Every structure is written in structure tokens, then in C-alpha cells.
Amino acid sequence: MRVIPWAIAGVTFAVFAPALLNGFVEWDDHVNLLKNEDYRGLGLTQLRWMFTATLMGHYIPVTWLTFGLDYLLWGMEPFGYHLTNLLLHAVNAVLVYALARRLLGRVLTDTTPLRTTAGAVLAALAFALHPLRAESVAWATERRDVLSACLFFVVLLLYLGAAEARGAARRWRLAGALGAFVLAILAKSIVMTLPLVLVLLDIYPLGRLGPWRTWGGAAARSVWLEKLPFAAIAALAAEVSWWAVARNDFFTSWETYPAPARAAIAFYGYAFYVVRTALPLALSPLYELPARVDPFELRFVASAAGVLAVTLALVRLRRRWPAGLAAWAAYGILLAPVSGFIHAGHQLAHDRYSYLSCVGLALLLGGLPAVLGRAVDAGRVRPALARVLAGALPAWLLALSYISWHQTQVWRDTETLWTHAVEVQPECAICRDNLGTVLVNNGLTVPGMAHLYRALEIRPDFSKAEGSLGLGFLQLGRPAEAEARLRRAVDKHPADVTFLNNLGTALLRQGKYPEAVEILGRAIAKNPREVLPRANRAASLAGLGRVDEAVEEYRRAIAIKPNAPEPRVGLAQAYLALGDPRAAREQYEVARRLSPALAAPLAGSFTSGL
């Protein structure tokens, strides 16, 4: 029996092993990890930042601690970051196995230990190998999913252990569960509904809470009292989560998405993950939220009808099949924080939201071996049919593994990710924009701009595509057209440093130096550690004849990032303008080592051997 957890962990690791070859992707990784130097290490400066940061609307200090440790171990090598994600997911598979054994052992009292163990293995593998898990495992940024889930499962195991213990052992296990819950909240606040899950466990299968009419009695009082610390932490977590999202202005507008639209989004989400669990095809990193949601659109009406029908059916069957209603209720509780009623972001759904919420469905499936065995024993199912069904389960798990193996590789790099997204969601404007942007950045300007134009056809209001088109026109040497596109992007996104820098570059190339200085100054004010806006502002100052000021700006850029070639080239040009060829030569030599192509135009300035 001891070999089973190791086997589950090994299979899980093997299926998602392609993640180890993945890089960082420009889908939050570039903001959280590549451009962010604040988390790199575990010194006092980094710890202070981790426990105060709300980067991209998340307060996740425990997750940042693991990223800081990754940096100490691996530097900026993505292999190590993906290895940590993968190891955590393998641990989660084992924890789900342990959780399933406890719950199935309590519920299925009239079956054999072998069937209970088989059911626990099935539940663990159905959870761990499912393609919906790929996003959380293969995407470095989603460390918060696998880590918070790991701690969540620890809470549940400790709580179940406390239910079977007495005296000091019970108190220590409850204290451990509370401590693990605090850590889980600090890894990702999505676990905030855990107290409701504990109440659900007390109702079924623990039976510590009887019919709801007795919940106010003395017998139930101790059950409620032990939930108070969990509820207090959850309430604080909800408040902090709200603050973090609001601080980054990520909430969607109630004017654009009023209550009926949000209800439609929520019903769609509740149906989506069940359907995708049953049929995990056409998975995408983004299922785009429409500019307007019509609650009477067929997909929303069908989702609402399906969710309500399942709910009513399970309520009617609650006495004959309480496990079904309990699993469905757990699913609803765990999905609630991201269901859509309080909406933030530009998604209808995300695969990663299934990581915790669908674990109850996997546990429910774990009862199948026992149910099938009882049916055979009672003569309701022929043994031959049971063997066929039993043989189909490994084939099904193998199919899930095959899809997960390939879905993990979708996250290999940014271009691979968004190429796949456009293939499965051709009408996703953000997917088109992201693919077009990465192609333009990689020098594939014309095909990249085709995707950007298509993004604007799908969503004419999508101003970020305007900004990416502006970069494309810059690369084509058409700065006036770039300026027009970038001004529209900056009007909608005045704090976007990339758009401000590119607009400044377009102005610089047209000789509009005063405007360029002002726009690039705004970019620097938004992020003083960005090097390119400083280098471009210095070039604009030099264009105005303010060469001494340009030299100082170039030096500040070099101090921020000594290995950036752009300010070195610009500083060499400034020194030449000031009549200091020796200083110019020194900067040119450094630039030539960093980027021979960028420094090449300066080579003729030093043919005299100075």
C-alpha cells in the first residue's frame, strides 16, 4: 500500500514533465517574474515587498516566498520554477488520494478495503491527470494555484483527523488546520470559502450537524464555535482580496456588466467546468468576455437551465444519494469567488479556476469501484460488463494523460501559446492581439499586423491592438502612422509604459523633440526603472541640442541596467557630439560586445583609430 502514493506522484510528474522545458510566457510571467526584480531573494528588502505587494491584483506573500527561493536556487532559469510547480502538483495528487481514502472509507462502510483503495486511486488520478490542470501546472505564474491547493488539502486532512480525535490531539489538529488555512490564504485568496466546505463536511459525511432545524441547539454550538476563527480569517481575506483588486483597478464596470449579465456569466462558468471536465477539448488560455453580455443568448440560457436542473435533481435525490449533492455543493462553494458575480478581468472562464473547485467531482468519481462492485455482488450488473467498465477507466485516464501531455506543451513559449489560442478561439480579440504583438516583437511585422487588424475587426473598441499596430508601423519605418495609432492607445491606457515609450519613439523619429521629451518623461514617471524610455528621452534631449542633459539621462539608464546596449550607443553618440571621442569609443566598445548589430552604425566614427 505504501507504494501507491509514490506511484500516483510518479505518474502525475511524468504526464506533466514537458512543463520542465517551458519558458516564461508574456501572459503575466513577464510582469511577475521577468521584469520584476523585487521578489528575487529572501532578504529583508524582498520580504518587505512580498508582504506589502498587490502586483496584478493579488496579495500572495507565501507564493512570493516560494518564487524568492526559486530565484536563490535557479536564478532566472525557468526550468526550476516549473519544477517547483510540478512537484507541488504531484504532492497534491497524493494529498487527494489521502483525502479520498478518508472520505470514501467513511461513506462506503459496506465495501472492501480494496475497492476503497481503488476508488481513492481513481479519484486522485482523475483530479491530477486531467487536462484542465495543465494551465495551473505549466504556467509559472500560477504557482499560487498549486501552492494554495496543497495547503487547502492539508487543512481538510487535519480537520478530518480532528473529527476522529479527542482531547489534546483534537485541539492540536484544529490548530494545525487553522495555521495551514492562514498560509493557504496568503498563497491565494481563492480558498476563502473553505469554512463553508468545513460546514459541508460536518453535514455530510461527518454527520456532526444534523437537520437544519437543530443547528441552533446546544449540540451544534461547539461545531459552530470552532468555525469562528476560520470564518474570521476568511472574512479578512475577502477584504484584503477586494482591496488588492481595487488597488489595481481590475474590477469590471457594473454599468457595462449589470446584475443580469453577471448572473449569466456565473451560470455559464458553473456549467463550463463540468462540461470541460467531461469533454476536455479546445482548451484555451483565455475564454474572452464579450464586450456586452446578453443574458438571453443561447449559451447563457442553456447554462443556467443546466445548472438549475442538476441542482434540483440532486436536491430531490439527497436522501438516496447525499454524496452527489455534497460534491455539487462543494463545487459551487469553491467556485463562488471567481464565478462572475464579483467580476474582475477579461475572461468568461479560466481553466485554472477548476483546480480546486472540481476536486469534489473527482472524489465523487472515486466511489465508482465500490458502487460497481456492490452492483455485481447484488446481481444487478453482470461480471463481464463490470470488467469492461473497469477496463475502460484506465483507457480513459490514458486519454486524459495524452491530452494533458500536449496541453502542457501549449505553454512552451509565448508564440506557441497564442498560436494555439487563436486556433481554438478564432474570434478572441485579446488572443489575436497577443499573437500579433509577439509576432511583431519577433520581427514578423506583416503577419503580426494582420492578426492585430483582425482583433480590431472583432472588437473595434480594443485599443491595445492600436498600440501594437503602432509598434508595427514603427518597425516598417512609418512613424507618422505609428503616432496616430499610439495616441489612440495612450488615450485609453495613459499609464501603459510601453505605449508611452513607443509613442515617444514615433515622435522622436519625426523630429518632434519637445513632445517626445514630455511623453517619455511621463513613461519614466510611471516606471523609473524602465531603461528604454530614458534612452529615448535622452536622444530627444540631444535632438534639442541639450546634449549635457542627454548624457546625464543616458548615465541614469546605464546605472539601472548596465547590460542594456541602447543607452551605451546613445551615450557614445552624445560624447561624439561633445567632442570627446575617447569617452565615445569606450561606450561604443561596451555596446559592441552587448549588441554588435545595434553598435554597427557607429563603427565608421572610429575608423581613425582613436
State how far the Cα of 360 lies from the Cα of 354, in Å rounded to an integer.
10
Torsion of CA 439, 141, 11, 94, to 10 degrees: -170
What's the confidence (pLDDT) of residue 139? 96
CA neighbor of 181 nearest in space, from 169, 166, 196: 196
| Mean pLDDT across 365-387 | 83
- CB neighbour class for 309 (10 Å; exposed up to 12, middle 13-18, buried from 19): exposed
164, 157 Cβ separation under 8 angstroms: no
* Cell numbers that stand for 530 in this block: 524602465
State how far the Cα of 514 lies from the Cα of 480, in Å rounded to an integer.
16
Confidence of residue 216 (pLDDT cuts 50, 70, 90): confident
Confidence of residue 610 (pLDDT cuts 50, 70, 90): very low
**513 CB contacts (<8 Å, ≥6 apart)?**
507, 540, 541, 543, 544
H helix or E strand, kind and range, residue 347:
strand 347-349
Instruction: Report the mean per-residue pLDDT for the chain.
Output: 91
pLDDT in tens, 458-514: 988 888 889 889 988 998 999 999 999 999 999 988 888 999 999 999 999 999 999
pLDDT in tens, 278-325: 999 999 999 999 888 999 999 999 999 999 999 999 999 999 999 999
How far is the CA of 110 from the CAs of 14, 46, 177, in angstroms? 35, 54, 30
Cβ atoms within 10 Å, residue 308: 12
| Weakest mean pLDDT among 93-97, 206-210, 398-402 | 206-210
| Mean pLDDT across 77-87 | 97
- pLDDT of residue 609 exceeding 50, the answer is no
465, 446 Cβ separation under 8 angstroms: no
Q: Which CATH number fits domain 416-606: 1.10.10.10, 1.10.3470.10, 1.25.40.10, 3.30.56.10?
A: 1.25.40.10
Cβ atoms within 10 Å, residue 451: 24
DSSP code, position 511: T
pLDDT in tens, 131-181: 999 999 999 999 999 999 999 999 999 999 998 888 899 999 999 999 999
- pLDDT of residue 254 exceeding 80, the answer is no
- pLDDT of residue 110 exceeding 80, the answer is no
For 474, phi and psi rounded to 5 degrees?
-60, -45
| Mean pLDDT across 14-25 | 96
- One-letter amino acid of 64: W
- Give first-to-last CA distance, the chain, whole Å: 77
What's the confidence (pLDDT) of residue 428? 93
What's the confidence (pLDDT) of residue 242? 87
pLDDT in tens, 566-597: 888 888 888 888 888 888 888 888 888 888 88
| Mean pLDDT across 44-62 | 94
* Cell numbers that stand for 224 in this block: 459552530
State how far the Cα of 11 lies from the Cα of 543, in Å rounded to an integer.
62
Q: What is the number of alpha carbons within 13 Å of residue 280 lying toward its C-beta?
A: 24
Q: Quick one: what percent of the chain has pLDDT higher than 90?
A: 67
**440 CB contacts (<8 Å, ≥6 apart)?**
448, 449, 452, 468, 471, 472, 475
Confidence of residue 253 (pLDDT cuts 50, 70, 90): confident
How long is the chain? 610
What's the confidence (pLDDT) of residue 234? 95
State how far the Cα of 346 lies from the Cα of 335, in Å rounded to an integer.
17
Location of each CATH 1.25.40.10 domain in the chain? 416-606
Is the torsion defined by CA of 536, 541, 545, 551 positive or negative? Answer: negative
- pLDDT of residue 382 exceeding 70, the answer is yes
Torsion of CA 95, 222, 196, 185, to 10 degrees: -60
